[in-house]
């Protein structure tokens, strides 16, 4: 118990620091910035500065569209592919599945140039669908859904079939509702990954109007040849993370039970 | 009854056509830019581009944020390979050679000649030290836009408390080490103030080490040929030995690798008396340092030297002639004395265009902030920035080894030999194709 609390405390420190640093007034930002204990003048100055330097409403909107778009398509593709691998017998199924798993081993950055070439030739460069496109299929999601479908007893499908349901109806009315925890767990992983992704949106998008949160945040906080304003960075980072943190707090119980169900950690 | 509608429709159609025609006459181009110093530059550069667009109705430029210098390189290369090159890029000045070697950028000579001047007289408008990173194999590939040199920042209060005269900063390595020892304050076994700190992270570290090697009489790399580095030569070894001495023997510099933020924070809080940072950080330091500070040249052992840093404008390969022409108009505008001077005053970079310093705004700026003059005076001793085949990897070969020395895990002698070996392995394909490619 003690060890667990200690671990939780260690995990919480960066968030606590971020909160304290974001609330420190600008003048304190350089001298006591490393301290976790609030001191000196506190206020929302950093948030005001971050908000006014960036176009947060636009970035939220674009990021939301991007994550929602990716997830919507993924839900269809990973459920369909997961079902195929779990239930349908076809020649080469095992090999094809291994091929899918192999995709998990690829580091995304090596695909940047081929992916960019594809979206340029599709006319999707600098457009949100272009950023989403490479993620429409997910090896991880397919694997997860396959395992989820396999854990559901066949009896449910057989019973529905006996009652005259056709395959699409079986999938829609029987399997998907039962696989919901699996889909939910996948949704969390997918959204938090794409919400936080930096490199691919940086490469695939150009216009300020299409910018997403991560790239936007970096555009006014990063600097290589000089030091940085920690207070504003902390405030900006909190603004970027806030929606995800909020979702987690609200749906805490469900999220935890989804992960317990699927065994993801 | 239909008549008014028709008229309205016809009018609307006419407007659409003329709007279309107006748009066809405008060339849309994009400029990729990194943010190497401060975040607020994004706003400033967008304002600058808006101003350009207003003055050039036939061109519409979009300023595209492209991350750090390394990110910008990645984004640009990916865009060129995907057949969607930007019209112009502010590229780290030492990547220009790689773009030339890999045929990813166009030579600017034809554009310069079209304006009725020779490439040589064009480059004469810029500080001479900048030419080496911009002119590759005799052709202009980059136009210097924002440039820096490393500076020694020092705290006036720390100097006074150590009994040193703040108007006499260290000039030679001898003074430098002696002052650093006096400036270091140890209380109860812990160091309260280090005499000197510097960033040890990638890019910054290589830049500073090259500066030390050059102030030790060395070349560090072959300025004219991208396949040679002098990592294991005495001039570089001496530079690494100096750092080893200060960190591991005299303890006047903190061990391990710290980044620019940590160094600056230590300097602001009085935990470091001197630091080396870019001239590009001058505005940042000025607005954050509460006690008085001054800047000086990098200390030297054999001869004063300071490596150039910063960014140049390039035009990637694969753009249509109209886009190239528009990009060239933009580039010339960005490096015009007035704009170059404004950018310099805003960022702390020095203006690469010599004529920028003849403008009254620039003269009054230098009178108000004499610190900004030091970078300019240091230009006399400026040397080209590290650029080779596979610049980043070859640079990191040395940086990894120096980091090991700073962390006390390697001796300077072993470090420079290892760095030289891995750098040579990296450059081998290029060397085989070029210098060792003997006609048979």
Burial class (CB in 10 A: 0-12, 13-18, 19+), B151: buried
Residue B390 token pair: 């596979």
Residue B228 lies in a domain: yes
- Chain A: nearest CA to B414, how far in angstroms? 29
The pLDDT of B184-199, averaged and rounded, is 93
β-partners of residue B255 are: none
Instruction: Please indicate whether, in this complex, the C-beta atoms of B43 and A220 are within 8 angstroms of each other.
Output: yes
Q: Where in chain A are the domains?
A: 1-43, 54-262
Query: Can you list the pairs that B334-338 forms with residues at least 24 positions away whose Cβ atoms lie under 8 Å?
Result: B334/B48, B334/B52, B334/B145, B335/B126, B335/B143, B335/B144, B335/B145
- Residue in A116, A207, A227 closest to B265 by CB: A227
Residue A257 confidence (pLDDT):
80
On whether both B388 and B350 belong to a single domain, the answer is: no
Q: Residues B385-395: what's their mean pLDDT?
A: 92
Task: Test A224 with B68 for CB contact under 8 angstroms.
Answer: yes
Query: Residue B198 pLDDT more than 90?
Result: yes
Whole-angstrom Cα Rg for chain B: 24
User: Both tokens of residue B327?
Assistant: 């990009």
Q: Which of B39, B86, B269 sits opposite A219 (nearest CB)?
A: B39
Residue B438 lies in a domain: no
Residue B263 near residue B197 (C-beta atoms within 8 A) = yes
pLDDT at residue B36, as a whole number: 64
**Spatial separation of the C-alpha atoms in residues A252 and A249, rounded to whole Å:** 5
Alpha-carbon gap, residue A197 to A218, rounded angstroms: 12
- Going by the DSSP 8-state scheme, the letter that residue A53 receives in this structure is H
Distance CA B316, CA B84 (A): 10
Number of domains forming the structure of chain B: 2
Residues B176 and B293 in one domain: yes
CATH class for the domain made up of A54-262: mainly alpha
Residues B263, B252 share a domain: yes
Please list every residue in chain A whose beta carbon sits closer than 8 Å to the beta carbon of residue B263: 227
Given B380, B406, B421, the domain boundary residue is B380
Segment B60-64 shows an average pLDDT of: 93
Cβ-defined contact of B67 to A112 (cutoff 8 Å)? no
- The whole-angstrom distance between B288's CA and the closest CA on chain A is 7
Quick one: pLDDT at residue B121? 95
CA distance B3 to chain A (A): 40
Instruction: Please indicate whether, in this complex, the C-beta atoms of B36 and A113 are within 8 angstroms of each other.
Output: no
Question: Is the pLDDT assigned to residue B35 strictly greater than 80?
Answer: no
Residues in chain A: 265
Distance set, CA A46 to CA A16, A34, A105 (Å): 16, 16, 40
The pLDDT-based confidence of B16 (bands split at 50, 70, 90) is: very low
Angle among Cα B55, B60, B62 to the nearest 5 degrees reads: 115
Angle (nearest 5°) at CA B168 between B167 and B171: 145
Same domain, yes or no: B249 and B363: no
Burial class (CB in 10 A: 0-12, 13-18, 19+), B239: buried
The chain B residue lying nearest A54, using CA atoms, is B43
Q: Are residues B319 and B342 in the same domain?
A: yes
Query: From the centroid of its chain, how far is CA B258?
Result: 20
Question: What pTM was estimated for this model as a whole?
Answer: 0.82
CA closest to A118 among chain B residues? B82
Q: Is B115 exposed, middle or buried (0-12, 13-18, 19+ CB in 10 A)?
A: exposed
* Amino acid B37: pLDDT: 57
Question: Other CB atoms closer than 10 Å to residue B387's CB: what's the count?
Answer: 23
Per-residue confidence (pLDDT) for residue A256, from 0 to 100: 80
Residue B402 included in any domain: yes
Q: Specify the DSSP class assigned to residue A174.
A: I
Closest C-alpha among B230, B261, B258 to residue B243: B258
> Who among B36, B42, B288 is closest to A224 (CB)?
B36
* Boundary of a domain, candidates B364, B380, B396: B380
CA B353 – CA B124 distance, rounded (Å): 9
**How are strands ordered across the β-sheet holding B185-187?**
B185-187, B190-197, B272-278, B150-155, B293-296
Is residue A208 a contact partner of residue A56, using CB atoms and an 8 Å limit? no
CB contact under 8 A, A223 and B36: yes
Which of B241, B243, B264, B253 lies closest to B183, judged by CA? B253
**Angle at B229 (CA atoms; ends B227, B234), nearest 5 degrees:** 155
Six token digits for residue A175? 């399997």
> Roughly how many angstroms between the first and final C-alpha of chain B, as a whole number?
88
For chain B, the residue count is: 440
Q: Which domain holds residue B229?
A: 150-308+384-433
- Could you tell me the pLDDT band of residue B12, with boundaries at 50, 70 and 90? very low
Preferred mutation among A225, A229, A236 to probe B, highest tally of B CBs within 10 A: A225
**Which H or E run contains A245?**
helix A230-250
Note whether residue B426 is domain-resident: yes
- Chain-centre distance of CA B93, in angstroms? 6
Instruction: Note whether B78 contacts A203, CB cutoff 8 Å.
Output: yes
pLDDT at B13: 47
* Angstrom distance (rounded) from CA B218 to CA B211: 9
Pairing state between β B88-92 and B135-136: unpaired
B37 to chain A: closest CA residue: A223
B38·A223 Cβ contact <8 A:
yes
Q: How far apart, in whole angstroms, are the C-alpha atoms of residue B156 and residue B163?
A: 11
3-class secondary structure, A153: coil
pLDDT-based confidence at residue B17 (cuts at 50, 70, 90): very low
pLDDT-derived band at B42, boundaries 50, 70, 90: confident
pLDDT at A217: 86
Is the pLDDT at B229 greater than 90, yes or no? Answer: yes
pLDDT of residue A26: 58
Do B389 and B274 lie in one domain? The reply is yes
Torsion B41-B47-B50-B52 (CA) sign: negative
What's the pLDDT tens digit per position in B296-353? 999 999 999 999 998 999 999 999 999 999 999 999 999 999 999 999 888 888 899 9
Q: What is the rounded distance in angstroms from the CA atom of residue B291 to the CA atom of residue A27?
A: 13
A interface with B, Cβ–Cβ below 8 Å: 30-31, 33-34, 53, 112-113, 116-117, 119-121, 125, 199, 202-203, 206-208, 211, 215, 218-230, 232
Q: How far is B11 from chain A (nearest CA, A)?
A: 31
Determine contact, residues B31/B316, Cβ cutoff 8 Å: no
Lowest-confidence range among B216-220, B221-225, B332-336, B419-423?
B221-225
**Is 80 exceeded by the pLDDT of residue B88?**
yes
* pLDDT(B15) > 50: no
Domain with residue B419: its CATH number is 3.40.190.10
Tens of pLDDT, residue by residue over B234-248, are: 999 999 999 999 999
Q: Which residue has the higher pLDDT, B354 or A167?
A: B354
**Is the pLDDT reported for residue B46 higher than 60?**
yes
List the single best residue of A120, A227, A231 to mutate versus B (max B Cβ within 10 A). Answer: A227
Residue of A nearest to B78 (CA): A113
Same domain for B363 and B398, yes or no, is no
Chain B, nearest residue to A32 by Cα:
B269
Q: Do B39 and A222 touch (CB under 8 A)?
A: yes
As averages over each run of 10 residues, the pLDDT of chain A (265 residues) reads 86 87 66 68 81 88 96 95 92 91 84 91 93 92 93 90 88 89 91 93 91 87 58 86 89 79 64
- CB pair distance less than 8 Å for A227 and B263: yes
Cβ-based neighbour number of residue B187 at 10 Å? 8
Tokens of B1: 């009854």
Distance from CA of B35 to the nearest CA of A (A): 6
Based on the fold, state whether residues B243 and B166 are members of the same structural domain: yes
Per-residue tokens: B413: 């002698």
Domain assignment of residue B17, yes or no: no
B154 within a domain of the structure (yes/no): yes
Q: How many CA atoms lie within 13 A of A211 on its CB side?
A: 22
Distances (CA, A) of B126 to A214, B147, B331, B352, B401: 37, 11, 14, 5, 35
For strand B272-278 and strand B190-197, is the pairing parallel, antiparallel, or unpaired? parallel
CB contact under 8 A, A116 and B288: no
Distance from CA of B290 to the nearest CA of A (A): 10
């Amino acid at each position: 118990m003690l060890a667990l609390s200690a671990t939780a405390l260690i995990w919480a420190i960066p968030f606590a620091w971020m909160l304290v640093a974001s609330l420190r007034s600008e003048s304190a930002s350089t001298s006591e910035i490393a301290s976790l204990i609030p001191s000196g003048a506190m206020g929302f100055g950093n948030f005001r500065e971050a908000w006014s330097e960036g176009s947060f409403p636009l970035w939220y909107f674009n990021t939301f569209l991007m994550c929602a778009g990716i997830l919507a398509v993924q839900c269809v593709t990973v459920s369909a592919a997961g079902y195929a691998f779990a239930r349908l017998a076809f020649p080469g199924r095992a090999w094809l599945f291994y091929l899918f798993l192999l995709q998990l081993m690829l580091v995304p950055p090596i695909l940047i140039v081929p992916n960019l070439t594809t979206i340029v030739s599709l006319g999707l460069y600098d457009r949100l669908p272009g950023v989403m496109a490479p993620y429409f299929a997910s090896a991880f999601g397919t694997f997860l859904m396959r395992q989820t479908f396999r854990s559901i007893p066949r009896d449910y499908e057989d019973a529905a079939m006996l009652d005259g349901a056709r395959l699409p109806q079986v999938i829609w009315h029987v399997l998907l509702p039962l696989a919901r925890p699996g889909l939910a767990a996948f949704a969390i992983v997918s959204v938090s990954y794409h919400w936080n992704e930096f490199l691919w949106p940086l490469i695939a998008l150009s216009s300020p109007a299409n910018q997403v949160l991560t790239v936007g945040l970096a555009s006014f906080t990063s600097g290589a040849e000089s030091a940085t304003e920690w207070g504003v960075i902390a405030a900006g980072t909190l603004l970027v993370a806030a929606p995800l943190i909020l979702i987690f707090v609200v749906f805490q119980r469900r999220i935890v039970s989804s992960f317990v169900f699927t065994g993801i950690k | 009854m239909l008549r008014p509608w028709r008229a309205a429709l016809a009018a609307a159609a006419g407007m659409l056509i003329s709007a279309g025609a107006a748009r066809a006459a405008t060339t849309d181009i994009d400029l990729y830019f990194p943010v190497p110093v401060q975040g607020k530059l994004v706003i400033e550069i967008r304002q600058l581009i808006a101003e350009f667009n207003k003055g050039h109705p036939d061109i519409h430029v979009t300023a595209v944020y492209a991350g750090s210098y390394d990110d910008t390189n990645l984004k640009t290369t990916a865009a060129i390979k995907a057949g969607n090159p930007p019209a112009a890029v502010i590229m780290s000045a030492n990547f220009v050679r790689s773009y030339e070697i890999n045929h990813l950028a166009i030579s600017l000579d034809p554009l310069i000649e079209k304006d009725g001047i020779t490439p040589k007289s064009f480059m004469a408008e810029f500080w001479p030290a900048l030419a080496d990173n911009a002119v590759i194999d005799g052709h202009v590939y980059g136009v210097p836009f924002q440039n820096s040199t490393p500076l020694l920042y020092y705290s006036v209060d720390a100097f006074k408390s150590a009994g040193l005269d703040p108007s006499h900063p260290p000039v030679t390595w001898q003074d430098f080490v002696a002052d650093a020892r006096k400036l270091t304050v140890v209380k109860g076994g812990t160091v309260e103030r280090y005499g000197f700190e510097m960033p040890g992270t990638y890019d910054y570290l290589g830049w500073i080490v090259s500066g030390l090697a050059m102030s030790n009489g060395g070349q560090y790399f072959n300025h004219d040929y991208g396949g040679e580095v002098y990592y294991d030569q005495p001039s570089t070894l001496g530079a690494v030995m100096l750092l080893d001495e200060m960190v591991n023997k005299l303890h006047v510099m903190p061990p391990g690798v710290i980044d620019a933020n940590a160094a600056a924070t230590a300097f602001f809080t009085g935990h470091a008396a001197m630091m080396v940072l870019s001239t590009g950080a001058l505005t940042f330091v000025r607005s954050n340092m509460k006690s008085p500070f001054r800047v000086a040249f990098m200390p030297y052992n054999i001869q004063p030297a300071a490596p150039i840093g910063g960014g140049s404008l390039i035009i990637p390969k694969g753009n249509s002639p109209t886009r190239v022409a528009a990009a060239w108009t933009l580039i010339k505008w960005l490096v015009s004395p007035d704009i170059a001077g404004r950018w310099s005053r805003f960022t702390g970079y020095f203006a690469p265009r010599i004529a920028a310093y003849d403008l009254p705004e620039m003269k009054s700026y230098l009178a108000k902030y004499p610190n900004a003059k030091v970078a300019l005076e240091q230009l006399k001793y400026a040397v080209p920035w590290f650029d080779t085949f596979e610049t980043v990897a070859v640079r990191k070969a040395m940086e990894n080894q120096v980091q090991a020395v700073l962390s006390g895990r390697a001796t300077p002698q072993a470090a420079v030999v290892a760095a030289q070996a891995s750098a040579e392995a990296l450059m081998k394909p290029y060397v085989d194709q070029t210098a060792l490619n003997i006609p048979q």
